[in-house]
Structure 1
Amino acid sequence: MTKTFASQGDMTEKTITFDEIGRDLWAFTAEGDPNSGVIIGDDSVMVVEAQATPRLAQKVIEKVRSVTDKPISHVVLTHYHAVRVLGASAYGAGQIIMSEAARAMVAERGQEDWDSEFQRFPRLFEGHESIPGLTWPTTTFNDRMTVYLGKRRVDITRLGRAHTAGDAVVYVPDANTMFTGDIVEDRSACYCGDGHFHDWPDTLARIRAFDLDAIAPGRGGALIGAEAVDRAITSTTDFVRSTYRPAARVALRGGSLKEAWHAVRDTCDPKFHDYAIYEHCLPFNVARAYDEARDIDTPRIWTAQRDLEMWEALQG
């Protein structure tokens, strides 16, 4: 290999922001690192996305404690990825919620995902020795469930496959605000290595149909106001389509993965080169787009070894 993954060299500490995006709704963001969300109810708090380690989760907890002393009763995990879920034990929540599909992915590929992500992006696993093991939900649902934090209603819903097959969104009706996980990003590359390119734009259209007042995206800044929401949904849709189409053209004519890599770069570099984690995601995005174009519907499991083999094929 001529060089390492871009993410392995990303050791720069990111600046954390904590923005109120609706009444008692907060977005914890960090310049393209994984975001978390906070929903304050009448008598307790729900956190959306746990961070990768208990130590990193403490940074979220510190921000929660800056605005409320109510106990954290629920943690919602929008999908199974290690950087989102392995810090869940820090919150002491009575309920850890995932979709049933996301739980199945923890069982199928959770350890492999942890090993793979730790290898390729070590900075996101600060305090990794504090992780007690895989995170398992206490509560699952198939299509939709509702949690009441006192009188405050929170709807947790699967709108379709996108970033993974088990994605969920968290909607707070009284504020018309949504926590989308990695289905929506703002000026950050989408990680598509476990994604579903054909489904993703339709899932984004279903989010758009809510006509939201605010979104806390998976990565990037808080989106407050209809204009910001629309911009991020549009740019995310463009990113997904711009990645898939050139890779698919190469795959369908029998071209190589490396040819697909160059075709995607030709389309995406001019538009997205300055997006957060763009280089980090690109090889995995191309590999998944190449597979999906060849009718591999279920994303192949990424392992630490497969990561290296894929990267060597692109660099060789």
Structure 2
Amino acid sequence: MAKAFASQGDMAEKEISFTEIGEGLYAFTAEGDPNSGVIIGDDSVMIIEGQATPRLARKVIECVRSVTDKPITHLVLTHYHAVRVLGASAFQAPQVIMSEKARAMVVERGQEDWDSEFTRFPRLFQGHEEIPGLTWPTTTFNGRMSVYLGQRRVDLMQVGRAHTAGDAVIYVPDQNVMFTGDIVEYKSACYCGDGHFHDWPGTLDNIRKWDLDAIAPGRGDALVGTEMVNAALDSTADFVRSTYAPAAKVALKGGSLKDAWDAVRAECDPKFHDYAIYEHCLPFNVARAYDEARDIDTPRIWTAERDAQMWEALQG
């Protein structure tokens, strides 16, 4: 019997944690499921990441209401992926912000990504009937912008390609804390299916230069203290390099995608097999690494049909 595709069999609910990572700053985490962030300003609240559905977004709102009754006025989306953005309507935020490149990726591949992720990870899309459609920003930026929540300044920045070409980070200077989206993970596999392997380590170096006191990563526990921050930066870089190098070696010698899969497993399984969503991410990571080694700079669009074809090829 064929192995179940990706995370179709993962239906167990995850335990939620809501961790203060600075004054008025919180990380919403759930055992390797997509994280969200909360920034409480003088008179309003900014949310980082919209979750996959309004049902999941309401869990974030419940945590927010446990610490403040200030209105949610801003929702920032670090990139375009469905599991990050399709719950946005629940927040009813007047301002929804993405980078210009992230919005362009919604135009180019947003519906395909939704269809693909829905098939890959059914648990995250329970309650999908409430999703009103693709999530569109009301505001975009290129490079950098600042938002003021009263006197509290929040800097939105693009510091390099990594998880996608449109990644943004959110920095709160009065606490030296950053929300990195999926550029940084902690004890969770990086999803590299839309990634840029050559750029990703340098982007992590750019984040490291801030000498941060805390990070809310894309998945995994909140990172509080420089030791934990640097450990996560190191392990994320190791994951990216360990995935790309063996796949590239196979691709450049003319080997098959299945050969690359075997080579990456030999390198990564001993180090990362117990990371959250490792098995889920691996086929997409290998396929993207194989393509990038062959000079395909723009990740090919994942569709539900392409997912199935790739999975069949790797299981053969």
Q: Same fold (TM over 0.5)?
A: yes
How do 1:172-183 residues align onto structure 2 when only pairs under 5 Å count? 172-183=172-183
Q: Which residue of 2 aligns with 1:8?
A: 8
Distance 1:199 1:154 in 2: 25
Match of 2:48 in 1: 48
Counterpart in the other structure of 2:84: 84
Q: Within 2, Cα distance between the matches of 1:67 and 1:29?
A: 16
Residues 132-147 of structure 1: pairs in structure 2 closer than 5 A: 132-147=132-147
Show structure 1 runs of 4+ deviating over 6 A.
Answer: none
In structure 1, C-alpha distance between the alignment counterparts of 2:5 and 2:296, rounded to whole Å? 25
Structure 1: give runs of 5+ residues left out of the alignment.
Answer: none
- Partner residue in 2 for 1:284: 284
Equivalence for 1:60: 60
Give the 3-state SS of the residue equivalent to 1:220 in structure 2.
coil
Aligned counterparts of 1:155 and 1:237: Cα–Cα separation in 2: 24
Q: Secondary structure at the match of 2:7?
A: helix
Q: Residue type of the partner of 1:174? A: D
Structure 2: 5+ residue runs without aligned partners?
none
Following TM superposition, by how much is the alpha carbon of 1:4 offset from its aligned partner in structure 2, in angstroms?
Answer: 1.9
Deviation, structure 1 residue 147:
0.1
Q: TM-score, structure 1 length as denominator? A: 0.99
- Cα distance in 2 for partners of 1:121, 1:211 equals 35
Query: What one-letter code is carried by the residue in structure 1 that aligns with 2:224?
Result: I
Distance 2:142 2:125 in 1: 30
Q: Write the mapping of 1:1-316 to structure 2, written as runs, cut at 5 A.
A: 2-316=2-316
Counterpart residue type for residue 245 of structure 1: A
Mapped to 2, the partners of 1:120 and 1:91 lie a distance apart of 25
Distance 1:4 1:288 in 2: 21
Q: Distance in 2 between matches of 1:88 and 1:43?
A: 21
**What amino acid maps onto 1:220 in structure 2?**
G
SS at match of 1:117: helix
Q: Secondary structure at the match of 2:134?
A: coil
Deviation at 1:126, TM superposition (A): 1.8
Report how far residue 55 of structure 1 moved.
1.0
- Rounded to whole Å, the distance in 1 between the matches of 2:117 and 2:208 is 30
Partner deviation per Cα, 1:264-315 (whole Å, 9 max, x = no partner): 0000000000000000000000000000000000000000000000001101
Query: Residues 180-237 of structure 1, C-alpha deviation per residue, up to 9 Å, x if partnerless?
Result: 0000000000000000000000000000000000000000000000000000000000
CA distance in 2, matches of 1:112, 1:212: 36
Return the letter of the residue paired with 1:211. Answer: D
